[in-house]
Structure 1
């Protein structure tokens, strides 16, 4: 049965998904958003610091909340601005063009979709024109992607058709690149300005309405949570980096969902979206894809000398959600015995995590955590200091131990027999 599944994944499922994930635009989106993740993670920690749910701490920082939230608002609150630059840089590099020009023009095009307004201080003094931050956070990610593609493609077109200002060879390259970007930059800026401010077409609102069904399905439905979890495990079990492929497809949506949660909490509300990237990384795949921390723990109790060594080598990296040693050491890849719990376990833990948050038994994720933060600390911090997040992580870890146990026992028996028979592993 598992051989048929592996064959189906390898022959039918993997080729189109791998080709789709390697589309130039998707690679640029993936690389651009990933480049912004450190800033987002650092910024989101300030939500936890400012709003940590302990009465004594709240009283201590009550007069400084606005100041503590500044790093969050200027990092996560401007997520799409940074992403527009990163994605534009990445896409331009795939065309062997200047990455800086691609990034700057993409960011400029994105900012032109905003609407400057007269600003006032609390005392009523004029500030001049200001750009509202609404739409510059994760909610503007789809607009950032669209304007990035437009800007870089215009830059590429002008370069291919030689519609640029050429400077003499003696001119420094940095200056020459600036002049080369003048004509495409003019086309980009005038085009976006004309659409947004002359025609009055709000690109961001239109894209949010267009993609709102997808965001709702991915963020707050059971099927939207299960599909990426299932495919990540299936691809890994077939020998392909499932998270790399599935993440390329889902990450823009995950970014929007997470930004909405963080902004809601930062503004005094409650996070609403369930299906964020953190749900998979922190509550479902405990120890890495497939929830392999449970497997590493069980391996340390194996009778097989080989599996016991793999377990001991894998358990420390597994605590920090790094599981390549056990995936390729056990191995899990193309292993019919271990692939079953590797695929089944995350589906079950995703179900418990989804329904626990759907029923409001556990707060939804509002702090973007590095994937290396070990369980169960990650569950507590990611949910904004909700102790029930820790309980959910531990509960899912126990579930994974129970799911893996019979399969590990069967595999251990097989490996022990081979060792006793002198079969080279």
Structure 2
């Protein structure tokens, strides 16, 4: 039993996750990262050499609070959207029922990539005009990344910390996975990957056009994973750059902020010059018509995540200050736009989380910087009841 009379089950599960993650990370850390001439992952030849993000959840996935405050997930963000998401879902389903289920019955052979369903809503949401051939829908961002791995013939170049999936698929093909450095040869990679916004601030993130031009000089395609960009104003998305660049793909999803990853809608926006190449690797009919109808409805509503941003900007510095007052001093320089606090995965952090009766999530990225490869992610409680619960847990630590 813990000092608060609660079971240490949550702490044990975190410890198990730590061992699990380090086992996974060992696949990526067999080179000397201090050697500037050797900063690539070793070629992987079998599927068992690397694991995907979905494999790293383990048995600790519990999307609810219990005796401990579960900050592994953003459980309350949909309550702060500018619309009542439950009502939006109910209204759409009632329309389906009353109309004899037009979306459910529609087999979209006339719109295999979802362009007709999403184009108008996407243009409204992002404030731009797109050619329909620049839009490809897939089974979530994960599905899109898997399809895009087929474009890679030489290797992948990661710019900053990135999600593990695409590097894992490239490594499984026996191709190189490199990190962007000043001394890195750029002609060994024909696919470049970066995130907007990433978990950590990257110096080069503000100059996407220059990156695209540099990649173009080396006959490479730039892929931007914007899974986290739902926390930004739509005008801050890099989707607009596909109208200007010739070698850019930007990916969007509905998991963050909307908490609708289960509808499995991912959208790839590409430069016109890349449409024919994506036609070759993106499977049609990968998303149900009902899911596309919901995605279109949500984007048509505009910037409904603005209230979430306000809570993040107000509470993130406060939460960091409160954690420091409880003895958690090692906080990473994470992205202020995201609803997460980032801690190192060491025993001190694990012990502190146990004392606070807080569950976090171990998160892994592919990064040149060791401290960014594995870390604890604590979601910021956004609803008032959960924010008060966090304060209560921390006050008990301070007063004990």
TM-score, length basis structure 2: 0.28
Rg comparison, structure with higher value: 1
Structure scoring higher RCO (CA < 8 A, sep ≥ 6) equals 2
Higher strand share: 2
